[in-house]
Amino acid sequence: MRLPKCTGYTEFTDCGNEYDCEAQHDRSCEDCLSLYKLYGGLWNPDTGKKINPIIAFILYGSKKHKTQNTKHKGE
């Protein structure tokens, strides 16, 4: 199953960059299900409902951790 598409966008203006999200429900990006793999968000941007963490793991797999060690043996 695929994660919902991120509806956030950046707009370049004379005053700098402005960011906005077109999701129907007001949640921060870190809480959004579309960014589950990066931040572990569980709120569906389309329905505004929170998904159970165990269900999210079953449907979408494990989330990536920012502190993952990517070194290989011998480096």
Residue extents of the structural domains in the chain:
25-63
Per-residue pLDDT, 9: 83
Structure tokens at 75: 């480096």
12-30 as b/e, with b when 16 or more CB fall inside 10 Å? eeeeeeeeebebeeebebe
What's the confidence (pLDDT) of residue 57?
A: 95
Are the C-beta atoms of 25 and 45 separated by less than 8 Å?
Answer: yes
Q: How far apart are the first and last CA of the chain?
A: 36
User: pLDDT digits over 19-54, tens only?
Assistant: 788 887 878 888 999 999 999 999 998 888 999 999
Residues in CB range of 60: below 8 A, 6 or more apart: 1, 3, 36, 37
